[in-house]
Amino acid sequence: MYYPLFRQYYYIHTFSKNGYHPAAHSWFSLIKIVLSFIFIQTATPVYAQKTESHEILLNPINVTATRSERQIKDIPYSISQFNRSPQQHFQPGVTLDEFARNTPGVFFQNQANFSQDLRIAIRGFGARSAFGVRGIQMYVDGIPQTLPDGQTQLDSIDPSLIQNMEIVRGPTASLYGNASGGMIGMSTRNVPQERFVVSPRQVFGQYGLFKSELFAGGRYGQHDYTLFGSHLQQNGWRDHSNVHNYFTQAKLNFKLNDNSDLMVLFRKFYSPESKDPGGLTREQAHNNPNQASPRNKQFKAGEMVDQEQMGIRFRTRPAVHQELSVTLHMLHRDFQNRLPFFDGGQVQFDRLVGGAAIQYRHDHRLFNRPNRMIVGVDYGIQNDNRQRFNNHDGTRGALTLNQTERVQNVGPFLRSEWRVHDKLDVVLGGRWDWLYFEVNDTFLADGDQSGNKTFSQGSGTVGLVYHLNERHQIYANVASIFETPATTELINNPSGRGGFNPDLKPQTSLSQELGIRGTMSEFQYESVLFYIYSWDEILPFELPGSPGRAFFRNTGESSRLGVETRLATPEWKGLHGEISYTYSDFEFEEFSIDGVNMNGNTFPGIPEHRWEGLLRYAHPLGFFSQLHVQRVGTFFVDDANSVTNNAYTLGQLLFGWKTRFHWLESSVFAGINNLFDQHYNANTRINAAFGRYFEPGAPINVFGGIGLRITPF
């Protein structure tokens, strides 16, 4: 069944719709002056600059999100790239969306509820997530953060450590396999050029925000290292929303010889406390928005996490035009969670994850034209020992579930990037994924629910880039997407029994995209039109007997038609501006629940219209200011389209100043969140029970910080 990109009725239909003292417990408390600031280069994608002949050329922007380093202009995908810049140093460093604001097609929610994690949706993929991230692949320093079953937890990624971020706003399943409706690749902060640098930073703000950071790095001969640690404590604006966590990372790079290098990475995350204030009804959110759900307080809803991760990457270049890389990684996660109900309301699991990836790249000539071939295979294994207990108002009760869940994933892939003509690039890629889910039930009081499921499917892509000239490209791609239910989605069985939900199936999608991008008179622009058709769309819902626990179901067929645009000005006397707009017409094509026909209903959780604007100014004397404004349109929060989340406008204002004296660089900054003091919901819970859809966001609030960068040698 084929659904063309430019269906005439869609054009008519689309545009007719309406649319206690924290410092005493900080392990940086000995630091008297804290808060670090490092100016490296301007933010966001690099802009055009003049050559000596005053001809305007687009700076080459290299990305690695396609598993090898390429310039954006040669890739037939919509890609946004962000580099660490002044505004990142002046941000609180609390959630990842601080790094990627003003990105069309990417919608962030849930910045304040750390027990549920930041919600990220790329063209609708990820919108179903009740916690963590779904449908989007995420990598940090080349190490996958997405588990073999397709879920990603963001709590162990500190935003202040990120050096650059690449967001592929579209399917990448032919490269990364399962759960690749989009891809976010990050790398942590660069090794300083100096022999040794130490950089402390302290952030503080309203509602008990207190974050301490310490970064250090240096070089020793052919080798280098970076060390980072942070401590975050925040009371939260809403009742019962405290969070307290620690994060550390060590990254070592060894240059073995002229053609080989080795990276060793270790991360540790510990969060002894992260409370969940829960969702509210519309009336509760209006009358007393900073209250917690009474049930969440009664059952002491929240979580504890203790996680370690290690990764090793070896790269070698056996010949000038060849590269071989081998990556090994493992993760251990101890997790405990209290949910706001009695029966099985406490969850505990011990997770062990391991994986390996082998990739070979060969640049050669095909029919006398340049071609890059990439071939490789990914393997991952995930083992969860899970128990559930009754929740007696926060006290652990009787055991109700005890099972071991295992997932294995194998995915070989092949990709060819061919310059068939001086102005035309052709990309072909394919991958086959095999996933095996197994559950071994050792709690036999309700019978043996042991079982297994096997999912396997191929994913492919065809892409074209036509270079109008050096500064302008038109690109197009067609790609398929394969997304299995995550383990926690499969085992949340609406029947109340253990084992897997027998009715939940994988989701498949076909995406078509057409875009144009480039630089005109030093203005950078991008405009993209996409159409995605999905079968067996996976969406969450809640049951009255288990409020706060998300169950999942397939919803038939759905379609997504969208437009993404962005315009960025050149920098002029320290001034720079950006504006972006996202249009999303996502709806169900075939969907019914209990005999109720919902064909034509709008996809919940995604606004039809969203605008973002950014204006910043950097003075040569070190003064900095930035204004960011986001307008989010109305959207539905249930499949039946009976309840809406109101539109809102958010603003953030930043001020900062930095100065340098010999070996010491210091900075100070302050900011205002929710500048217009909007009453809005920072998160919505899709299809929540008892109408508890809304998690209100904080009113206008301020934060600030200080920092140093010390180069003693």
Q: Is 65 left (phi over 0), alpha (psi -120 to 50) or beta?
A: alpha
Q: 552 vs 107, which has greater pLDDT? A: 107
Evaluate whether residue 477 is within a structural domain.
Answer: yes
Q: What is the pLDDT averaged over residues 40-66?
A: 45
DSSP 8-state code for residue 691: G
Please report the pLDDT score of residue 490 as a whole number: 85
d(CA 291, CA 276): 11
For residue 686, which phi and psi values (nearest 5 degrees)?
Answer: -70, 130
Q: Which amino acid is at 431?
A: R
45-54, 157-166, 232-241, 621-630: segment of lowest average pLDDT: 45-54
* Whether the Cβ atoms of residue 657 and residue 624 lie closer than 8 Å to each other: yes
Q: What is the pLDDT averaged over residues 582-597?
A: 90
Q: What percent of the chain has pLDDT over 70?
A: 90
Q: What is the pLDDT of residues 300-331, one digit of tens each?
A: 999 999 999 999 999 999 999 999 999 999 99
Q: 219 vs 493, which has greater pLDDT? A: 219
Q: What is the pLDDT of residues 371-396, one digit of tens each?
A: 999 999 999 999 999 999 999 999 99
Evaluate whether residue 240 is within a structural domain.
Answer: yes
For residue 532, which phi and psi values (nearest 5 degrees)?
Answer: -125, 130
Please report the pLDDT score of residue 58 as a whole number: 36
d(CA 311, CA 327): 7
Q: 279 vs 591, which has greater pLDDT? A: 279
Indicate the pLDDT class of residue 548, thresholds 50, 70 and 90: low
For residue 35, which phi and psi values (nearest 5 degrees)?
Answer: 125, 120
Q: For the chain, what's the residue count?
A: 713
Q: What is the pLDDT of residues 456-495, one digit of tens each?
A: 999 999 999 999 999 999 999 999 998 998 888 887 777 6
Evaluate whether residue 297 is within a structural domain.
Answer: yes
Please report the pLDDT score of residue 627 as a whole number: 96
Q: Rounded mean pLDDT of the chain?
A: 88
Widest pairwise Cα distance in the chain: 80
Please report the pLDDT score of residue 713 as a whole number: 76
Q: 223 vs 15, which has greater pLDDT? A: 223
Evaluate whether residue 1 is within a structural domain.
Answer: no
Nearest to 36, CA basis, from 235, 262, 230: 230
Please report the pLDDT score of residue 574 as a whole number: 93
Q: What is the pLDDT of residues 628-653, one digit of tens each?
A: 999 999 999 999 999 999 999 999 99
Helix H segments across 219-370? Answer: 282-287, 294-298
pTM over 0.85: yes
Please report the pLDDT score of residue 529 as a whole number: 98
Domain that holds residue 443: 8-19+27-710
Q: Which amino acid is at 247?
A: F
Structure tokens at 562: 């969208």
Evaluate whether residue 344 is within a structural domain.
Answer: yes
Q: What is the pLDDT of residues 325-350, one digit of tens each?
A: 999 999 999 999 999 999 999 999 99
Residue 362 belongs to a domain with what CATH number? 2.40.170.20
Please report the pLDDT score of residue 492 as a whole number: 74
Indicate the pLDDT class of residue 497, thresholds 50, 70 and 90: low
* Whether the Cβ atoms of residue 427 and residue 67 lie closer than 8 Å to each other: no
Evaluate whether residue 390 is within a structural domain.
Answer: yes
d(CA 514, CA 519): 18
Structure tokens at 71: 């310039």
Q: Alpha carbon 274 to chain centroid distance?
A: 20
Please report the pLDDT score of residue 88 as a whole number: 76
Q: Is 114 left (phi over 0), alpha (psi -120 to 50) or beta?
A: alpha
Residue 22's SS3 state is helix
Q: What is the pLDDT of residues 657-687, one digit of tens each?
A: 999 888 999 999 999 999 999 999 999 999 8
* Alpha-carbon distances of 83 from 89, 170, 187, 667, rounded to whole Å: 11, 20, 10, 19
Nearest to 693, CA basis, from 286, 398, 339, 413: 286
Please report the pLDDT score of residue 609 as a whole number: 98
Domain total of the chain: 1
Indicate the pLDDT class of residue 60, thresholds 50, 70 and 90: low
CB neighbour list of residue 532: distance below 8 Å, 6 or more residues apart? 123, 124, 481, 509, 510, 511, 512, 559, 560, 562
Structure tokens at 500: 């897997």
d(CA 441, CA 606): 37
Highest mean pLDDT among 38-42, 548-552, 567-571: 567-571
Q: Would you tell me how many other CB atoms lie within 10 Å of the CB of residue 659?
A: 12
* Whether the Cβ atoms of residue 494 and residue 500 lie closer than 8 Å to each other: no
Nearest to 587, CA basis, from 609, 611, 563, 604: 604
Residue 17: pLDDT over 70: no
Q: Are strands 137-140 and 183-188 parallel, antiparallel or unpaired?
A: parallel
Residue 166: pLDDT over 80: yes
Residue 573's SS3 state is coil
Evaluate whether residue 2 is within a structural domain.
Answer: no
Q: Are strands 260-275 and 243-257 parallel, antiparallel or unpaired?
A: antiparallel
Please report the pLDDT score of residue 504 as a whole number: 87
Residue 55: pLDDT over 90: no
Q: What percent of the chain has pLDDT over 90?
A: 75
Continuous segment of H or E residues that includes residue 429:
strand 424-441
* Whether the Cβ atoms of residue 225 and residue 217 lie closer than 8 Å to each other: yes
Place of tokens 């035309």: 424
Residue 267: pLDDT over 70: yes
Indicate the pLDDT class of residue 256, thresholds 50, 70 and 90: very high
Please report the pLDDT score of residue 59 as a whole number: 47
Residue 52: pLDDT over 50: no
* Whether the Cβ atoms of residue 76 and residue 610 lie closer than 8 Å to each other: no
Q: Would you tell me how many other CB atoms lie within 10 Å of the CB of residue 60?
A: 11
Half-sphere exposure of 105 (CA within 13 A, CB side): 30
Q: What is the pLDDT of residues 522-540, one digit of tens each?
A: 999 999 999 999 998 887 7
Indicate the pLDDT class of residue 553, thresholds 50, 70 and 90: confident
Structure tokens at 432: 């086959």
Q: What is the pLDDT of residues 75-103, one digit of tens each?
A: 999 999 999 887 678 999 999 999 888 89
Nearest to 479, CA basis, from 73, 66, 92, 174: 174
Please report the pLDDT score of residue 366 as a whole number: 96
